[in-house]
Amino acid sequence: MQDRRINRLKERLLAQTDEGPVIRHLVDDNPRGDDMLGEVCRAAVLLHPSASFEQALTLARTMAYIVYIDDYLEEEHPELDLADYRRVCQNFLLWPNRDLSQMPLVNATVTRKIEEQFREDEVPEEWTAMRRLVWEKSIWTMLQENHWLKHKERVTLDAYLANGMYSSSFPIVQVSILAFSYQDVSQELKNRIFGHICQAARVVRLANDLRTHEREAAQGRFNAIDLIFGAGDKTHETAHEAVRHLMEDEFEQLKKAIARERRTGITQQFLDHLIDSTQVLLDFYEIPRPKSRPDRLLRAG
């Protein structure tokens, strides 16, 4: 059943002629893998299995845009950094008074599609500000990583993770899912739930670092493994293991924080989903589940 949905998502995205450059980027010679489009569609289905087809399509399209923007900043234009934040946002987001006709066509297409999602995916307008915010934060933190690399700055692990939870773009996906599913949520409750999303994003950032370290090192970039390796008497192998343990500890903290959360009918399902979807991504990144501490596998609740 899932395989059929994944193939349908791929077919629908490939048929979108106006998004051709973005979708082709996931198909043609992508350094991330041979079938990045298939991976994006599979992740959309796995991360929100109860989504309608149109919602799954929105998530797949969202993740395709994330990959495109990430590669644009990381590989095509690594010279762009924090000083270019406004210009980059104006190239990918419909900031006030931005004229789409003055943007490069592919950038205008991404911008228009993101804005259309905000209007057309049957999510109340009240969610739009938060959805725009996570896009802006994601671009800011990607540029921050470029800034560190460009200026050869070495940062602390804490600073890297504070930045990396947004540059992972996990909050973009989770806020979309939250908006799809939970429309009558107070701002105070949104803020608390967003805190849990950020904690989950730290887990995902570390898992992503474990998977992509070799590719990023070849590009001259650094991630959590390099920061731990450079901070003490460790080999790359022991630094890799230290990041894996840190990831497991962060995941355990997430489960404990959610277990302490005052739950309502509205939040119960999403918080359970947040734990499940975080584990889905660990499995997606092929991160082995811990063997030595079985208590880590106990579900919070």
**Quick one: pLDDT at residue 300?**
30
Question: Could you tell me the two tokens for 46?
Answer: 């796995």
How confident is the model over 159-186, as a mean pLDDT? 84
What mean pLDDT, rounded, does the chain reach?
Answer: 82
Mind giving me the DSSP string for 122-146? Answer: S--GGGHHHHHHHHHHHHHHHHHHH
- With a cut of 90, say whether residue 104 has pLDDT above it: no
How confident is the model over 125-130, as a mean pLDDT? 74
**Quick one: pLDDT at residue 124?**
63
Burial (CB count <10 Å: 0-12, 13-18, 19+), residue 271: buried
**Quick one: pLDDT at residue 98?**
63
- With a cut of 70, say whether residue 97 has pLDDT above it: no
**Quick one: pLDDT at residue 233?**
60
| 40-70 pLDDT per residue, tens | 999 899 888 888 898 888 889 889 989 889 9
- With a cut of 90, say whether residue 181 has pLDDT above it: no
Which alpha helices (H) appear in 93-186, and where do they start and end? Answer: 105-120, 128-150, 157-167, 170-181
**Quick one: pLDDT at residue 298?**
32
Write down the pTM of the prediction.
Answer: 0.83
**Quick one: pLDDT at residue 10?**
92
Distance CA 141, CA 196 (A): 19
Q: How far is CA 297 from CA 117, 193, 207, 248, 279, in A?
A: 36, 22, 16, 10, 10
Distance CA 229, CA 237 (A): 9
Confidence of residue 17 (pLDDT cuts 50, 70, 90): confident
**Quick one: pLDDT at residue 293?**
45
**Quick one: pLDDT at residue 36?**
86
Confidence of residue 296 (pLDDT cuts 50, 70, 90): very low
| 197-244 pLDDT per residue, tens | 999 999 999 999 998 888 887 777 888 998 888 766 678 788 889 999
- With a cut of 60, say whether residue 18 has pLDDT above it: yes
How confident is the model over 250-257, as a mean pLDDT? 93
